[in-house]
Amino acid sequence: MKTDLLKFTDSGGCSAKLSPQQLQEVLKGLPVATDKNIIVDIDTHDDAGVYKINDDLALVLTTDFFPPVCSDPYDFGQIAVANSLSDVYAMGGRPVVALNIMMFPSDKLPMEAYSDILRGGYEKAAEAGVSIIGGHTIEDSIPKYGLAVTGFVKPDSIITNAALKPGDALILTKPLGTGTILSASRLGMADPQDLSLAISYMKQLNDKASAIMFDAGVKSATDITGFGLAGHTLKMARASGVSVSIDMHSVPVIGKVLEYTESGCIPGASFRNLSYAEPDTEFDSELGYNHKMLAFDAQTSGGLLMGVTSGKASGLLRKLQSSGHKGAAIIGYVSELTGKYLYLNYC
């Protein structure tokens, strides 16, 4: 009988994250690191930590793991690794080596499922040119998989979430909707084609998008995962000290995701994300409920969101679309800080 990983979890992928409020509460009491070689730490809630080795080399360090987002073990392994590598790509780095992080209920799932998860992960890592050189596995009632990743970046070329500038255009490289589609799938309401499309987007590496934005001189970016488009954008706006306006009408979506939202297929994480961002967000009176909740949809292995000098935005967008990111779009702009950090519009 074919293994169905979704039977073991109610909340998979990046939807399983702690809420942004809970995370802030946990992190605020931690001591501040004082090592002079630390370039990026938890201060701005960036995608990864960065540690300087010398003037030409810094390490990008990150870890990510989560419960299954899909039934098939191989697909789960592929998605988990693509998601784990994404933080390095968001910083303009090149992932090099990684360690497996694996939790597995060996008394409930066949070992073939364990092997298929790892095989999917190894093959996705190989596609990215990353070597998995070890790891750690423990028994757990819910399967979980991911990586601890080390990458390389030049210290003077780091892309952070804290460098947006007024006048920048915002480009998103993948369409939204994975959280809602996965929720609809659990309820038996998702079109199989939409689910297949969502899985293909989650498997897609952000390596080409990262290289394109690096070559274009982009200074600020993040990847869109469990806190949704609005949550991650808000973190960028706060860290950069600017206001960001997003036109939700311009945001690309996967399949019939807005119809699923209309039918009530909204993950619980979306409401946690809304609660976190709402005090610092102004909502356009023309913004409908479905598009509003789309902004808070918890993504797994989502795209990159980058701030691009307005004169370069169109050219960069064309390069992204021709490289395989056909759903990439310009979705907003950055301005001086005025009132709120985030403005969700419908133009």
User: Taking the C-alpha atoms of 115, 118, 123 and 126 in order, what is their torsion angle to the nearest 10 degrees?
Assistant: -140
CATH 3.90.650.10 domain span(s) along the chain: 169-345
The conformation of residue 206, written as its DSSP 8-state character, comes to S
What integer pLDDT is reported at residue 291 of this predicted model?
97
CATH 3.30.1330.10 domain span(s) along the chain: 7-157
What integer pLDDT is reported at residue 18 of this predicted model?
62
CATH class of the 169-345 domain in this structure: alpha beta
Residues of the chain with pLDDT under 50: 1
Q: Which CATH architecture has domain 7-157?
A: 2-Layer Sandwich (3.30)
Beta-strand pair 242-247/144-153: unpaired
The conformation of residue 24, written as its DSSP 8-state character, comes to H
What integer pLDDT is reported at residue 46 of this predicted model?
62
Catalytic residues: 14
What integer pLDDT is reported at residue 293 of this predicted model?
97
What integer pLDDT is reported at residue 144 of this predicted model?
95
What integer pLDDT is reported at residue 48 of this predicted model?
82
Nearest Cα neighbor of 199 from 78, 104, 50, 111 is 78
| Percent of all residues in the chain with a pLDDT value above 90, rounded to a whole number | 83
What integer pLDDT is reported at residue 72 of this predicted model?
95
pTM: 0.93
